[in-house]
Structure 1
Amino acid sequence: MADFNVGFVIFPNITQLDFTGPFEVLSRLATPPSI
């Protein structure tokens, strides 16, 4: 599988949770299926 880069745009009033949620989802996409 090819590597890909993900970027986040920073706006005023952005919190850490705005990055953590998408990061958790995207980090699991590259893992092989588990049984």
Structure 2
Amino acid sequence: IDPPRYCNHIICYEDSECSQWCTAGCNSITSKCDT
């Protein structure tokens, strides 16, 4: 399973599926979740 293609900080904190991928936060360059 790949991390969500697009994320922002609100999505990372509020969306449980995204937040499990965003353990290292959102990559501001690629707009992807870092694991």
TM-score for both structures, normalised by structure 2: 0.26
TM-score for both structures, normalised by structure 1: 0.26
CA radius of gyration, larger in: 1
Structure 1 or 2: larger strand share? 2
Greater RCO, CA 8 A, separation 6+: 2
